[in-house]
Structure 1
């Protein structure tokens, strides 16, 4: 299992400049949004993690939030999403168990549960040249990347997209594909942000609102 400090290194690789994907065709979100302001900062491709096992995405999913009118906030309650491969075939699902994210594969009935260890601002929230100035490790051996230069902290603004996320394994099946996964990284997010705070009022207290989103998930050792 990788140490927390290693995750920062891996994250730097994910947000690096353009790199080739290790599969037959380039991946890109099924729906695109005109975003000229951040066009230069958005990486066209994202390199796969070291020892990547799976590269899946979701085009049918929601981030589900529950309103707490007394605390005046929306809290992430669950997620519901269908996982598809590079050919658009439905191969699994993403869901929550006791507030923890899980991913399940249909083919071998394997699954993994994780916890978040690092949030990465989505490209739509970045200002300046932080994305273009972030460099990736030049080489790796197994799951150990060579140490890259630490990027400066980005300037962020309100984003319509949920953060990119690095999560580490906490539970899962003892056999099957997911038993080999040590962490899951959420990238290329679109949508999924919690409703506005002023929509959480006494009348909506305890109610769940499902917000559509898309993402690409990378599963690695």
Structure 2
């Protein structure tokens, strides 16, 4: 079954270009040039992934991303004309999974979409592998792989797909250090992700905030400087 991709960009040429390349990969595209129309689509259509431009005249992509995260956990990729670290961090903090800076190569967008969908299906949909544990636990932290639910001291944690994936990897490898490069490879299996700068760092920071896990003295996610991250057994 074809995946449904939401594309939102007020620059018609860019939205049309993305549509052409993604349709060539047999995706079903829901394309909009305004945030208002996109928000209506989000409420009435089953979407598998969203590509959102940050700068739009009516409502920015941050707002759309925030609205998506109020109800849905599918991957969100932000498009930004600004090559500023603060813009990228803002998007990731609001729940985006990835960002692409304009100008971009259309094939890069296709690669990112495929990687996000592959990672989302791998780490957020029940696995057929009988060896996989349905529930992962650690000192008050509980993650149900099959229902995609996570609880901390019986209180629900609302996680984005990427946050869920990172926490799952750390729980599955309790007691071992996992590098950012290894996380990228496990989730996306694409070489260019290994070259990303601080995306994992931002997601880890946001995870800690949601878990009230202070970086200075963390109970769960610990930083092993120069190596990676770990959750002790």
TM range (shorter): under 0.3
Higher strand share: 1
Higher helix share: 2
